[in-house]
Structure 1
Amino acid sequence: MSSGGDNLSSSYFILIGVPGVEDVHVWISLPIFFMYLICLLANTSVLLTIKKEESLHQPMYLLISMLLLTDLVQSSAALPKMLLLFWFNLREISFEGCLVQMFFIHSCSIMASTVVLAMAFDRYVAICQPLRYSTVLTNPLIAKIGVLAVMRGTLLVFPLPLLIKRLPFCRSHVINHTYCEHMTVAKLSCAKIRINVVYGLAVTLLVVGVDIMGITVSYIMIVTTVFNLPTREARHKVGNTCVSHVCVILLSYVPPLFSSVTQRFGGHTASSTQIILSILYLIIPPMLNPTIYGIKTKEIQKNVLKLYCPQKSRFQ
């Protein structure tokens, strides 16, 4: 980061929260707090269940655990600090802390997208090539996918904090947001941010474009296979196994894409609306994903019940 006597951001930034509605920050925080509690409880329950039950140490459940873990890390990178801001007006965040928060929020988003793509491939093999499932989708392959997801998220996002660090912030160190989002911070700089804009947009298009294309191809082949099944009952049974994954895909891509579009092109959208959408993007998918799998996957539902109500589960 450039130095100079007029550089205001050498040590910290100030988070505003939701501009224009500061008087109701406490009320805004209440549903966020309860949703975050549900997120922590639901994700932890499913993760502990998958870890504890050896019968769930299978590719599909391991991919679910990867997705829930990235969701949990991403939401926890932003929400505790956000709640402190809402409750106690603790607006200051160190420059280094801001960069760390930015890294985890954006890298976990890419990791989650990679896992969702892998889950689409898992469903493709399970439905279109069921006889090869046990030989293609092995636990060592899932471990490699996990490593690839971490490497992809880390390598693509690591330049973002470095691009921020090189910028001088001589006009303002006040962030009109509840957390350190890359473009929101970059726009505070008094230098040109073209590299930040181009690189951020390129990463978004690359990740979303490649992953959505792979998911689309997988589901075109899945739908074709489902329609060719001999009986209506078989089509219903196979199609039902994909419902939870389709819900997760929608939760993974629709909120962040809508938030990104409104931030970049929503000139007539209120700033407070954009920020609330970005908050919902961080909390709704992590809250609903374990609930979706808990409802749609009987094995997880049964073992979560066993985790909390061992006596009751014996009689089922």
Structure 2
Amino acid sequence: MSDSNTSDFTNPSTFILLGIPGLEVEHTWLSVPFCAMYIIAILGNSTLLFTVKRERSLHVPMYYFLCMLAITDLVLSTSILPKTLSIFWFNSREINFSACLTQMYFIHCFSVMGSGILVAMAFDRYVAICHPLRHSTVLTNPVVAKIGLAVVLRGAMLVLPSPFIARRWPYCTTNIIPHSYCEYMAMVKLACADIRISSYYSLSVVLSVIGLDVFFITVSYTQILRAIFSLPTKDARLKAFGTCGSHLCVILAFYIPGLFSFLTHQFGHNVPLHFHILSANMYLLVPPMLNPIIYGVRTKEIRGRLLHLFTHKGT
């Protein structure tokens, strides 16, 4: 490759996102479920935030954490869907280099935050079930605020190196990203340099965050299940388990698509590229869509408040 060609993409002004490589013909059809999931996520999480804000009886730690999760879900889905839909509908594939780095940072930062919020929610359930008399004194509003701040700072600081690492690589071969959004490894793989530091950094963040968070959640729920099964009556056990059911469903909705996407990316070398990209999108789109539905259906307090709000407006 000549020097002139090599220097073309050393500091690219834009990247080109391909959408779902191999399924370009199906982009219009794929936009339908993508758009539907986005609309459900926006409406569901906004309704959840509105309901908790309006009802003072829901101003307790469990619903504060749920609001944090709803905000995280809104940011995550909004970080990728508008650009993805513009690719599907208008073939608008160009994205500014700085905008690409910003999108990448928000996606990974808020994914880490979402995992941290699930840990905080598991701790809330642990205190509520294992130490119910101390719940109001342990999880006071200042403590909840400090936990929320710690979750935000952890996500912001852990992911902060990623745009700086990605920016320093020379992109001297191509500026085409075979993805529907600016995913970290999909971007740095375009660099014509030894990117092992990026690979090690990415793997260490995933293992430290997901590994530690899943460990803490597992420890919390081990103690919770012990406490539940030690209750004297079946009705008491069912009632206690019911308070954790929604959170367990949200945990599964968050980690299972993420684990599936990570495993196919790391070890599924024979898996078609479009399947990798679809699984990566589902990881970011399915939880924001499901979380408000899960809590709306399974949590009687939210169901009751929503019915009260709508029936009150109608009278």
| TM band (smaller chain) | over 0.9
Residue identity in the other structure for 2:127: V
Residue 127 (structure 1) aligns with: 129
Work out the CA distance in 2 between the residues paired with 1:275 and 1:184: 10
Counterparts of 1:268 and 1:130, CA distance in 2:
50
Q: Take 1:280 and 1:146, find their aligned partners in 2: how far apart are those partners?
A: 26
Of 200, 203, 209, the match for 1:201: 203
Structure 1 SS opposite 2:16: strand
Encode CA deviations 1:247-295: one digit per residue, 9 max, x unaligned: 1111111111110111121101111011111111111100010111111
SS class of match (1:6): helix
1:158 match: 160
Query: How big is the shift at 1:160?
Result: 0.4
| Residue in 2 that maps onto 1:210 | 212
Question: What amino acid is aligned across from residue 171 of structure 1 in structure 2?
Answer: T
Where 1:190 maps in the other structure, the secondary structure is: coil
TM-score by length of 2: 0.96
Q: Is the 8 A contact 2:9 2:175 kept in 1?
A: no
Q: State the AA in 2 paired with 1:24.
A: E
Aligned residue pairs, count? 310
Amino acid at match of 2:36: F
Deviates more, 1:6-15 or 1:162-171: 6-15
Structure 2 portions without partners, runs of 5+: 1-5
- Output the aligned Cα RMSD: 1.2
Alignment of 1:1-316 (within 5 A): 5-7=7-9, 9-312=11-314
Contact in 1 for aligned 2:112/2:155 (Cα 8 Å): yes
The separation in 2 between residues aligned to 1:189 and 1:157, in whole angstroms, is 19
What amino acid is the match of 2:253? Answer: L
Does the 8 Å contact 2:254/2:287 carry over to 1? yes
Deviation of 1:182 (Å):
0.3
Q: Distance in 2 between matches of 1:132 and 1:12?
A: 55
Q: Percent identity over the alignment?
A: 51
C-alpha displacement at 1:9, in angstroms?
A: 4.7
Q: CA deviation at 1:8?
A: 5.2
For the residue of structure 1 that corresponds to 2:7, the secondary structure is coil
Contact 2:115 2:213 (C-alpha < 8 Å) held by counterparts: yes
How far the C-alpha of 1:47 sits from its partner, in A, is 0.6
Q: After TM superposition, give the deviation of residue 307 of structure 1 in Å.
A: 3.6
In 2: Cα distance, 1:255 partner to 1:279 partner: 9
Q: Which runs of 5+ in 1 are unaligned?
A: none
- SS of residue matched to 2:129: helix
Following TM superposition, by how much is the alpha carbon of 1:51 offset from its aligned partner in structure 2, in angstroms?
A: 1.3
Cα deviations by residue, 1:162-187 (Å, 9 ceiling, x for unpaired)? 00000000011000000000000010
